[in-house]
Every structure is written in C-alpha cells, then in structure tokens.
Structure 1
Amino acid sequence: MHIKVLGPGCANCVNLEKNTRAALASLGMEASVEKVTDYADIAGYGIMRTPGLVVDEQVVLSGRVAKPAEIAQLLAGR
C-alpha cells in the first residue's frame, strides 16, 4: 500500500501524517507514507483544499484532518 499526504507542510498536513501513521500502527499494517508538497502535483489529484490523503492513487480524504480511528476505517477495507 502506498499512501500520500498532500499539502504544503502546514500544521494540518503534519497532523494528518501523524494520524495516518498512528492508524497504520493500530491496524498492524505496513505502508509507505509519502509527503507531497508540490502544488502542481497536489492539483493533479483534483483536490481544492489541503490536507489530502491518497491511498494507492485514490483520493480518500481532503480538506480536513481525520482522527486515527477514521483513517483506520478507511484503510481497513483495502
């Protein structure tokens, strides 16, 4: 599984990455987590507000910071 956290590096983006790593740990899953900060790359995913979360090239969340439990639910079905 490949996960991308989209955002310019703001506090919300940092928190989304932290919560994503916590969700992975709670599920006992391993995945690569990549930060994408380039605006052109972020726009390529079609999101208008950051932070965004992309799992295996599919946007699953944008515009807010999800709690680890919510992210775990998104990841558990994959």
Structure 2
Amino acid sequence: MKDIKVFGPGCKRCATTEDMVRAAAAKLGIEVSVEKISDMAAIARAGVMSTPGISIDGKLVHAGGLPDPVKLEGWLSA
C-alpha cells in the first residue's frame, strides 16, 4: 500500500488533486492510503511552497497546480 499525502489549504484544486490521486490509483489497481494535510505549518515542513502538493511514501513528487495525469500514474506505479 502506498502512503499518499495531498497538501493544501482546502481549495478546489486541492480537492481535485485528491480525486485525481484516488482515480489514478483505482485505474492502476494500486492500494493507497490518502491523507489530506491542510495545516500550513505541516505543509511548509513538507517543503511544499505552492499548493496543491503530493507526497508518495514520504517523497514530495509534486507542488503547484494540478498534476499531469500521465505523470501521476507514473509516480504511483514507481
């Protein structure tokens, strides 16, 4: 199971990013645990300077704007 964290204050892009992560994981048949992090101090500690951000198994893979769906699938498959 992959541990996914979606970082953001709760904006529409952040919610869309979380939905994209869940949909990509389902499409690939990958079990994931998705946690939404909205605490600004925790977001900054994770190194996210622009939201939404995504970390997979503790590694920050994306920050700022919606992720590219193809890249997202690649990150989940790695």
What range is the shorter-chain TM-score in?
A: over 0.9
- Provide the TM-score with structure 1 as the length reference: 0.93
Superposition deviation, residue 67 in structure 1: 3.9
Residue pair 2:4, 2:55 contacting (<8 A) in 1 also: yes
Aligned to 1:11: 12
Among all aligned residue pairs of Structure 1 and Structure 2, give the percentage whose two residues are the same amino acid: 44
Instruction: Give the CA RMSD over aligned residues.
Output: 0.9
Please state how far the C-alpha of 1:54 moved relative to its aligned partner: 0.5
Number of aligned residues = 77
Structure 1 regions of 5+ residues with no counterpart?
none
The within-5 A match list for 1:1-78 is 1-77=2-78
State the 1:73 CA deviation.
1.1
Task: Output the CA distance in 2 between the equivalents of 1:47 and 1:8.
Answer: 12
CA distance in 1, matches of 2:36, 2:60: 14
Compute the TM-score of the two structures, normalised by the length of structure 2.
0.93
| 1:19 and 1:67 in contact (8 A); partners too | no
Q: Which runs of 5+ in 2 are unaligned?
A: none
**Which runs of at least 4 in structure 1 moved beyond 6 Å after TM superposition?**
none
